[in-house]
Amino acid sequence: MRLGIFGGSFDPVHYGHLLIAETCLQKCRLDQIWFVPAGVPPHKQNSLLTPAQQRIEMLHLAIAGHQSFHVSSIEVDRGGISYTVDTLREISSQQPSAELYFLMGADSLNDLPTWREPNSICTLATPIVVRREGAPEPSFEVLHGMLPADRLHLVKAQQVEMPILEISSTELRRCVRMQQSIRYQTPRAVEKYIESHQLYTPQH
């Protein structure tokens, strides 16, 4: 099985996330994509995240009915800071026959050497680098020494170019806080969940 791992805060999940996953699923011929909401992201340790269970519930609502999309609570269940390398090790042990792929933005590629055990990350899973349509090709120099030449060639060949979709979780939270519409930026079920649970409002 070709299994894509898509990590993030998903606070909240929106159509940009879903389009990335669907595009990678098709272009990279993946069998499944697991959305893995972070417990405590290393770069957001001082940020106030929506409780993990609510982020998980919104993800389930967003992907309902998609047979190739799944939500994994592996990082939340493990507790503590969510390091990618630990997650990939755990999934690899649970799914020993799966070929793992790790979805990441082109911006994150430059930061990869600063992550915990970047070489191990690239050994456990092949990166799928996602870049915006029309953006210059990212520099893959950071992967030199982390991947053998044949796998590096594969990573370059299967990078995914995304249509420009100006949606972000930060902007959705701002819109809700300002009592502005988030219609058509996230699935209706997620929008109604945010409304009914009064997420991202000043008093929440």
Residue appearing with tokens 């390091």 = 83
Q: Is residue 34 part of a domain?
A: yes
**Helices then strands (H, E): number in the chain?**
9, 6
Alpha-carbon gap, residue 201 to 178, rounded angstroms: 8
In CATH, what number is assigned to the domain containing residue 23? 3.40.50.620
The total of other beta-carbon atoms located within 10 Å of residue 46's CB is: 5
Cα separation values, 128 from 88, 108, 187, 203, Å: 14, 11, 25, 39
Q: Is residue 66 part of a domain?
A: yes
pLDDT in tens, 160-170: 998 878 899 99
Supply the range of the domain harboring residue 130: 2-166
Helix (H) or strand (E) holding 36: strand 32-37
137-162 residues labelled b (16+ CB within 10 A) or e (exposed): ebebeebeebbeeeebeebeebbbeb
Spatial CB neighbours of 105, under 8 Å, sequence gap ≥ 6: 129, 130, 131
Q: Is residue 179 part of a domain?
A: no
Q: Is residue 116 part of a domain?
A: yes
> What's the total number of domains in the chain?
1
pTM (whole model) above 0.75: yes
pLDDT score, position 33: 98
User: Tokens standing for 2?
Assistant: 């070709």
pLDDT in tens, 44-93: 655 689 999 999 999 999 999 999 999 999 999 998 888 999 999 999 99
Q: Is residue 154 part of a domain?
A: yes
Q: Is residue 184 part of a domain?
A: no
Residue ranges for the chain with pLDDT beneath 50: none
pLDDT score, position 43: 63
pLDDT score, position 204: 52
